[in-house]
Amino acid sequence: MQTCIERLYLEVFPVRGIEQQLLAMPDGAYIGITCSPKQGLDVTLDLVEKLQGHEFHLVPHVAARQVHNRAHLREIVQRLQDRGVDSMFVPGGDVPEPLGDFDSSLALLRELAEIDHGFQHIGVAAHPEGHPAIDDDTLYQCLRDKQALSTYLVTQMCFDPQVLSAWLREMRDQGITLPAWIGLPGVMNRMKLFSTSLRIGVGESARFARKQSSLAGKLLRSSNYQPDDLVHGLAPAIRDQQLDIDGFYLFSFNQVKDTIAWRDDMLRSLARPGAAAC
């Protein structure tokens, strides 16, 4: 477990002021930089450029439905190559209709495979609690199709360790072998979260709230949330080598300093005798 906490992979929204916050991140941290329908891909790529020169592993999100065509994809790839970026995360994207030729992450991944891109790490999303518009068999087939075109998966947030652990085992039984990063909600202050939601766009925050109703309940009961119980509940799954869990992917909601402080506290706790290891 300690190794999984040390191997920090943090998701942030590319908004004003986030660059300064990220300077508190330890060298070697993985930073996933999202792209939203409101802001578009250029804002994501701009933040990548601003963070050049720091000892981070930058992972820009390139949402398939926001890429216009093959030429646009090649332009994005070239822009990232010019800055030495060797990683990319490819979600489908939340826009109702594609802005161009790619209607899914799989479609973009197939096109990407035709490009001499040089990316060492390509991530895709997985849905432990299903998807409102896609049945489970189709979701598993999509992951099987993607695994030849990607190198790891990240699970969407799930607040139930039993549900998540059961899904991980079922996924492996379905023949999906991609290493897994477990998506966890980071430390969240209610007011900061709502403030950030407004900055990334009301539509996006509303979609998120609909997808994560359990999160809303937890925030209403308390002004703060920390994922300690969820982390400890996942300890048996972390120790199961057949599940091939690489670490935790923290949805920070741009509360970077609070999330790092939580991580440091958790590491001190796990260093005590009797703590689980992975």
Domain ranges of the chain: 2-270
Look at residue 37 in the predicted model and tell me its pLDDT: 87
The pairing of beta strand 224-225 with beta strand 188-189 = antiparallel
Q: Within a 10 A sphere around the Cβ of 78, how many other Cβ atoms?
A: 12
CATH architecture of the domain covering 2-270? Alpha-Beta Barrel (3.20)
The mean pLDDT of 74-94, rounded to a whole number, is 95
Residue 182: is its pLDDT beyond 70? yes
Indicate the pLDDT class of residue 211, thresholds 50, 70 and 90.
Answer: low
Out of 91-95, 135-139, 267-271, the most confident range is 135-139
Indicate the pLDDT class of residue 239, thresholds 50, 70 and 90.
Answer: very high
Look at residue 143 in the predicted model and tell me its pLDDT: 98
Residue 209: is its pLDDT beyond 50? no
Residue 157: is its pLDDT beyond 90? no
The pairing of beta strand 121-126 with beta strand 9-12 = unpaired
Query: What percentage of the chain exceeds 70 in pLDDT?
Result: 86
Q: Which residue has the higher pLDDT, 173 or 37?
A: 173
Q: Is the CB of residue 185 less than 8 Å from the CB of residue 252?
A: no
Q: Which residue has the higher pLDDT, 53 or 169?
A: 169
Give the predicted TM-score (pTM) of the model. 0.89
Which of 85, 92, 87 lies closest to 35 in space, CA to CA? 92
Q: Which residue has the higher pLDDT, 6 or 214?
A: 6
Residue 243: is its pLDDT beyond 80? yes
Mean pLDDT (the chain) is 88
Look at residue 202 in the predicted model and tell me its pLDDT: 39
Which of 85, 28, 93, 83 lies closest to 62 in space, CA to CA? 93
**Both tokens of residue 117?**
């891109």
Look at residue 212 in the predicted model and tell me its pLDDT: 53
Q: Is the CB of residue 139 less than 8 Å from the CB of residue 127?
A: yes
Look at residue 275 in the predicted model and tell me its pLDDT: 58
